Amino acid sequence: MAILKKKLRIFLTIFLFFVGIFLNFLITNAVVRKNITIPADLLLFINWDKTLDGYISEIDPQIIIPSNGYIGYLQYLTIKCDITGDLHPQIYYNSIINGNFSQMKSFYSSYKYQDGVLTIPINVLASRLRIDLGDGAGITLTNLDVVEYQYGFMVNILGLLYTAFFLTIMLGFANFFQNFPYTIMKNLKVFNKYSYLLINLVRKDITIKYRRSILGILWSVLNPLLMMLVITSVFKNIFKIQIENFPVYYLTGSLIFNFMSEATTGSMMSVLSGGGLIRKVYIPKYIFPLEKCMFALVNCLFSFVAVLVMIPVLRSPLYWTLLFSWIPLLFVLIFSFGLGMILSSLTVFFRDINHLYTVWIVAWMYLTPIIYPVEILPQRLMFIMEINPMYHYVDYFRQLAMEGVFPSLEATMNCFIYSIIFLAFGIVIFKKTQDRFILYI
């Protein structure tokens, strides 16, 4: 019986892996169109003579469009230029298997040329094309601007991998427990039983932090405003950072990052700080990192008031999408709780984590576009942003607060997956190590 259950779990893991690939393919690719623009100077002209105004064709003229790094369902190809001559475009597209131009389809009747724009329907799975505009010589191209691809969907290889990885982790997490639904209900009952303790711990932290302070919790509003004045004075006036509404840009980025920083830094030492209670009575140990995250959330909500105040003061547009600001805050709360459980459990055994993380959080802040625009980064460093969860959370919040648009489904899925992955890892690591905490605190 045990062998049968093990084989069933292996089968479900493999099955869910491929289901994850398929779902991510549908969610992040099939419903998202993508336009790729290629400058004219990147095109390769074969059997063309360059003229003062453009190009004139010889026999069998060809235009090679370089690979753009994507594979997907290519719908249209658009060339912006003025064309004269016997135009009969044909398209050769590369085989996905061997990369050669081994397949061809003619478009004699379906292409359109109007107002200096040649549009050719492709409707193939390809990433690299070769164009024959006609069989004979004498075709002229002038005022050549750009070539544009329009994809019906694109295959995001990284997205496929991390979604499949996420679902596999979730299956392993579910199989980690026996009678998983019963375990969830049991833990919810335990949490409800000790929820009063969570509330009291949050109140205690708030009281201790603002004890004997005249302004009290108003410092949660004033601190981001004062930091905004300092950062704006330095980076806007001295370093000449050219960002529209820079104070709001900084506030929106620092609000999200400081929330995560305060939550994870507090969670890291939470189990050690609660050692007195742990040694005396039974308490679900995850209450301690969760309490630090909730305390950071309270401070973040008061800091959010600073954002709401400064947007109209600085004459920045106030968008209705701010009503959905709770979504990125929820993502960051889940992410911080998962990361906090990992840090708190590791710090019990390795106290050096506390010092290392203090250095890392500073580096992490500079790796996140809080005080600089992401556009200034060279293309070779953009992969850092793609694997940086805080970049996705900050960008999500800024789209709601500064651009007045609701982020795409792909952006929402990115934030959701990062949060759930870290939560799953946090729960597994914390559960594996919590029984040994009493020996080290």
Indicate whether 18 belongs to any domain.
Answer: no
Give the pLDDT score at 96.
Answer: 45
| pLDDT confidence tier of residue 108, bands split at 50, 70 and 90 | very low
| pLDDT confidence tier of residue 127, bands split at 50, 70 and 90 | low
Give the pLDDT score at 242.
Answer: 67
**Residues 253 and 124 both lie in one domain:** no
Please state whether beta strands 90-93 and 72-80 pair in parallel, antiparallel, or not at all (unpaired): unpaired
Average pLDDT score over residue span 170-181 = 58
Report yes or no: 310 and 228 within 8 Å, Cβ to Cβ.
Answer: yes
Name the domain count of the chain: 2
Please state whether beta strands 112-114 and 54-65 pair in parallel, antiparallel, or not at all (unpaired): unpaired
pLDDT digits (tens, 9 = 90+) for 273-314: 888 788 888 888 888 899 899 988 988 888 888 888 888 787
Give the pLDDT score at 354.
Answer: 86
What is the CATH number for 66? 2.60.120
Indicate whether 13 belongs to any domain.
Answer: no
What residues contact residue 88 under an 8 Å CB cut-off, 6+ apart? 108, 133, 134, 135
CA distances from 382 to 154, 365, 375, 377, 378 (A): 19, 16, 9, 7, 7
- The percent of residues in the chain predicted with pLDDT above 70, rounded, is 73
Which among 1-5, 12-16, 109-113, 126-130 has the top mean pLDDT? 109-113
Indicate whether 63 belongs to any domain.
Answer: yes
**Residues 142 and 196 both lie in one domain:** no
Indicate whether 161 belongs to any domain.
Answer: no
Give the pLDDT score at 240.
Answer: 63
Indicate whether 117 belongs to any domain.
Answer: yes
Give the pLDDT score at 98.
Answer: 41
pLDDT digits (tens, 9 = 90+) for 349-366: 888 888 899 899 999 988
| pLDDT confidence tier of residue 406, bands split at 50, 70 and 90 | confident
Report yes or no: 249 and 398 within 8 Å, Cβ to Cβ.
Answer: yes
Half-sphere exposure of 208 (CA within 13 A, CB side): 7
**Residues 43 and 101 both lie in one domain:** yes
Q: What is the pTM of this model?
A: 0.65
pLDDT digits (tens, 9 = 90+) for 66-87: 765 555 677 788 888 888 877 7
Answer whether residue 28 shows pLDDT above 90.
no
Average pLDDT score over residue span 35-43 = 79
Give the pLDDT score at 273.
Answer: 84
Give the pLDDT score at 428.
Answer: 85
Q: Which domain holds residue 302?
A: 177-439
What residues contact residue 19 under an 8 Å CB cut-off, 6+ apart? 167
Give the pLDDT score at 192.
Answer: 76
Q: How far is CA 282 from the centre of its chain?
A: 39
**Residues 321 and 422 both lie in one domain:** yes
Give the pLDDT score at 341.
Answer: 92
**Residues 123 and 190 both lie in one domain:** no
**Residues 135 and 186 both lie in one domain:** no
Q: Which of 121-130, 267-276, 300-309, 386-395 has the lowest mean pLDDT?
A: 121-130
Terminal CA-to-CA distance of the chain, rounded, Å? Answer: 41
Indicate whether 298 belongs to any domain.
Answer: yes
Q: Give the integer Cα–Cα distance in Å for 163 and 20.
A: 6
Position with higher pLDDT, 333 vs 167:
333
Give the pLDDT score at 148.
Answer: 81
Q: Which of 194-198, 317-321, 384-388 has the lowest mean pLDDT?
A: 194-198
* Residue 133 neighbours by CB distance under 10 Å: 22
**Residues 263 and 320 both lie in one domain:** yes
Report yes or no: 136 and 86 within 8 Å, Cβ to Cβ.
Answer: yes
Write down which residue in 154, 185, 216 finishes a domain.
154
Indicate whether 160 belongs to any domain.
Answer: no
Answer whether residue 111 shows pLDDT above 90.
no
